[in-house]
Chain A
Amino acid sequence: MKITQHSSENTLTLSLDGELDASSSVLLDSELNAPEILNYTKVLIDCQRLNYISSAGLGVFISHLQRFQDANVKLVFFNMQEKVHNVFEILGLDSLLTIVPSQAEAAAV
């Protein structure tokens, strides 16, 4: 798993590249855990190169969601592959999280 950060004004974009499992999700957790992330108003997760996600990866997002909401930071997923989106759907997480098709739509949320 490779995570690339890109920030502009009030938005931080994290691009995920690879497979998010019980081994690699530790890295994502430490990225999202950084206190300065709450200084942004929006955190966008680019999932274009995210090829796989397990419950460990989902758990990282679930565990930070309330903290983000409390700090008025929007968490938005975009460019998600169908097989990855399907994992969110199986648990009904697609209705708890904001998932949009494209970067333009993510920027407009």
Chain B
Amino acid sequence: MKNAIRISCTRRNLKVVRDFVSGFLGSYQLSELHTNQIVLAVDEVVANLIIHGNQEDESQFLDVRVSMRNQEFGIEIEDESPTSYSPSSYKEPDLQEFVRIGKKGGVGMMLVNRIMDRVEFTTVGAHNVCRLYKKLG
């Protein structure tokens, strides 16, 4: 089974990563709802890295690797963008305030944090790795 994929930084590849993750999860008898949640969390991080981290520069790439160990799903997403996400600056958004001011973005990491068990971002130089984990079953 294919456990790794490399994509260029364009929004068109969001679907490619979603299909890759749901294909990997397909052999683990998860419910459609749980599969969708994990695919969604990955999609949110990948979208942030493509759009904000790499400004949709198609000459830049993301390396995505998935694993399953002791019934725990794990995914690593690596890139070389100069702008890295800082989880310490994250504040849970107030959705009623977002509605009032008509804000379009900003709820993606809220979904990721609520779905996954662990969310880690590390940066060494210009090398960023995001790791997401979720215990299944």
Q: Which residues of chain B are within 8 angstroms of A22 by Cβ–Cβ distance? A: 11, 14, 43, 47, 50-51
Q: Assuming the A-B contacts A62-B98, A63-B103, are A23 and B108 also in contact, with contact meaning beta carbons closer than 8 angstroms in the complex?
A: no
Taking the closest CB of chain B, its distance from the CB of A5, in whole angstroms, is: 22
Which segment, of A9-17, A39-47, A48-56, A99-107, faces chain B?
Answer: A48-56
Q: Are A59 and B107 in contact (CB under 8 A)?
A: yes
1/0 contact string of A80-99 vs chain B (CB within 8 Å): 00110011001111001000
Give chain A residues whose Cβ lies under 8 Å from the Cβ of B82: none
Complex contact A91–B99 (CB within 8 A) = no
Could you name 18 residue pairs across A and B whose Cβ atoms are closer than 8 Å? A19-B15, A21-B18, A22-B14, A55-B44, A55-B107, A59-B106, A60-B104, A62-B102, A62-B103, A63-B98, A63-B103, A63-B104, A82-B33, A83-B36, A87-B36, A90-B37, A90-B111, A91-B111
What chain B residues lie within 8 Å of A66 (beta carbons)?
99-102
For B100, what are the chain A residues with a Cβ–Cβ distance below 8 Å? 66
User: Contacts A55-B105, A62-B103; is A23 near B95 (CB within 8 Å)?
Assistant: no
Shortest Cβ distance from A53 into chain B, in angstroms? 8
Q: Is A65 part of the contact surface with B, judged by Cβ < 8 Å?
A: yes
Is A2 in contact with chain B by the CB < 8 A criterion?
no
Are A55 and B108 in contact (CB-based, < 8 A)?
A: yes
CB pair B43 A67 closer than 8 Å = no
Contact string against A for B residues 29-48, beta-carbon threshold 8 Å, 1 for contact and 0 otherwise: 00011001101100110010
